[in-house]
Amino acid sequence: MNFELPEELSALQQKVRRFIAEEIIPFERDPRRTAHGPSEALRAELIAKGRAAELLSAHVSKEFGGLGLEHRAKAVFFEEAGYSLLGPVALNIAAPDEGNMHLMEVVARPEHKERWLRPLAAGKIRSCFCMTEPTPGAGSDPSMLQTTAVRDGDHYVIDGRKWFTTGADGAAFAIIMAKLEDGRATMFLSDTDRPGFVVERAMDTLDTCFPGGHGVVRLDKLRVPATDILGELGEGFKYAQVRLSPARLTHCMRWLGAARRAHDIATDYARRRHAFGRPLGSHEGVGFMLADNEIDLHSARLAIWHTAWVLDQGHLAIHDSSMSKVLVSEACWRIVDRCVQILGGQGVARETTVAQIFADLRAFRIYDGPSEVHRWSIAKRVLKGIAREA
């Protein structure tokens, strides 16, 4: 196994690292960062910087304006982007747009790619993914889907309610999961300015890094042309896996960068801060936390790189991405929690970067499948003897 980065990828890594340090981190004190993510004005300014650096939408093919990176290269790129909570926004690789771009490039028809994917990849618009529903609807169990789509001539009429729809406020279009009259799940594409697509409110959540926040969406007799089905009828659950396996891994990549940032800040503090006559880091209790951080960072990165390799071999990597999602989300949480402890009072002050990472990171153990559901899925595959794909 060769873990050395190719020269071209190493150069790209350094370019992104410099870009984040010099162009993006200075924006972290910008007052346009709101409780529901960066304002549209701030996002536009960040995107302009990413565009000028020729670093936008690295995961998208060159045909649609991206860098066309494979998953292994994305692991390196996305980690560097995640070093600032604003980095994924500036480079147009933040959720849910990043996952939606990937799904559309794989599944969408040419006319849909031109209409929605191309401007999305250029950072000119945002999107959202309407899947999760309030009780008794779909959450971790997608088979409980309640939103319906009924054929009416050349249209489908969609009714239902979604929540935790990231980026709904300000999104130009949505990918909507609904079930047909025969119960088959299907994905639909819709502009959000159509009558019947209503963003009721933005939810008050711990995390504040996603543009548009997390919205509650009401679909009230939303009429979608039959020509705007994403892919094929009845393939919604299959397409969800096409989107979610890579998307949960890119979450891992980005949050690994954020955890590394917190670790760097805590390490620097442990060198400078003195307690009981010597540097804080020389006390065994603090030194051991820094050591455990290094171990967690290393193991998380290896899990990500391996799953990226599996995806690059053409597999869905369902089992591997579930393992990575659990390992990385919990490792990153431990890392940042230790950093808060090392920083003491400064670690819980909202004015510090580590406190912001701490608050934003917590949800990662829940979205794209909570750890408990992934463990259950892993166990079932192990018992059936179908765990490994590569």
Question: 152-210 pLDDT, tens per residue?
Answer: 999 999 999 999 999 999 999 999 999 999 999 999 999 999 999 999 999 999 999 99
In the predicted structure, residue 389 carries a pLDDT above the cut 70: no
Per-residue CA distances from 264 to 156, 163, 336, 354, 385 (Å): 52, 35, 11, 10, 41
Question: What is the average pLDDT across 27-40?
Answer: 96
Residue 39: how many CB atoms within 10 A of its CB?
Answer: 16
| Residue 5 CA to its chain's centroid (Å) | 24
In the predicted structure, residue 388 carries a pLDDT above the cut 90: no
Q: How far is the C-alpha of 218 from the C-alpha of 195, rounded, in Å?
A: 11
Contacts of 109 (CB under 8 A, 6+ apart): none
Q: Name the 3-class secondary structure at 151.
A: strand
105-127 tens-digit pLDDT: 999 999 999 999 999 999 999 99
Q: How far is the C-alpha of 7 from the C-alpha of 54, rounded, in Å?
A: 19
77-90 tens-digit pLDDT: 999 999 999 999 99
pLDDT of residue 390: 45
In the predicted structure, residue 387 carries a pLDDT above the cut 80: no
Roughly what angle, to the nearest 10 degrees, separates helices 71-81 and 236-272? 50
In the predicted structure, residue 351 carries a pLDDT above the cut 90: no
End-to-end CA distance of the chain: 15
Structure tokens at 186: 């299907």
Structure tokens at 352: 């510090």
Phi-psi region for residue 204, left (φ > 0), alpha (ψ -120 to 50) or beta?
A: beta
Burial of 304 (0-12, 13-18, 19+ CB in 10 A): buried
State the Cα angle at 365 between 127 and 373, rounded to 5°: 100
List % helix, strand, coil for the chain (3-state, nearest 5).
55, 15, 30
Question: What is the average pLDDT across 39-43?
Answer: 98
Please check whether residue 161 is in contact with residue 145, taking contact to mean a CB–CB distance below 8 angstroms: no
Count Cα neighbours of 188 within 13 Å in the Cβ-side half-sphere: 28
Where residue 1 falls among pLDDT bands split at 50, 70, 90? Answer: confident
The beta strands (E) that lie in the chain are given as: 33-34, 37-38, 127-130, 148-152, 155-166, 173-179, 185-191, 197-202, 214-225, 274-275, 278-279
Of 116, 242, 123, nearest to 189 (Cα)? 116
